[in-house]
Structure 1
Amino acid sequence: MEPIMSIKNYKPSETELEILQILWDKEKCTVREVHEILEQNKETGYTTTLKQMQVMHEKGLLSRDASSKIHIYKAEAGKEEVQQQILGKMIDTVYNGSAARLVMQALGNHTASDEEIDAIQKYLTQLRK
């Protein structure tokens, strides 16, 4: 199936991101499996989850293996690609294009572990080279 949208124009809903995250973590799932995970955090109907996943399939965000009675879904939108696209839009719209402001805000609002700080420092050192 040919996707009806480009990932560059993708503006995911909260539910779409939740479904993608589940599929990124699990790789492949049935609608029932996705629905059971979603229900742990919020009330939602099975048919709502089914319809959302069908729409995401039509958009080209998910692929569906329909070779058996139970359809198996897989994320076609790559995790890093979606994260980069969302982050880029956020930097442009919320932080006026300043990645530094985003990083300072993120580090100021959340406690980073020593390992995370070390990884950030290593990355910053590589950027300077």
Structure 2
Amino acid sequence: MFGGGGGLDPRKMKQMMEQMGIDITELDAEEVIIRTPDEELVFTGADVQRMDAQGQATYQIVGEPESRPRGAGGSDAPAVESGGADAEADAGSDGDIPEADVEIVAQRTGSTKEQAREALEAEGGDLAAAVSRLE
């Protein structure tokens, strides 16, 4: 269809996309979370592209996700990530810090799980603040 060889020349592909009004932007995403009713798919360090075509934005994520179940803490996850006052009150006790969050903080900072849990508790479950505290 497009000729022989094994694909299009990248320059030609870019020209064709520009002619069709398609714009692709590479995003510098640190983490992407997809929540379903049963689980969370967490992509850390994934390649993310945004394609704008005909007034629609489409996102492409390339990477291998970590799957974690949405249990009792699943409904609290957006509030905890937002770092609001309710999140701090909800995440005050040991049982409210999900083990997956502890692992993420420990992995990102190179700290022990105990240090990561302490930082999360001190920051009310806020992942970004806990990472900042340990770095």
Q: Return the TM-score normalized by structure 2.
A: 0.22
Instruction: Report the structure, 1 or 2, having the larger helix content.
Output: 1
Instruction: Name whichever structure is richer in strand by fraction.
Output: 2
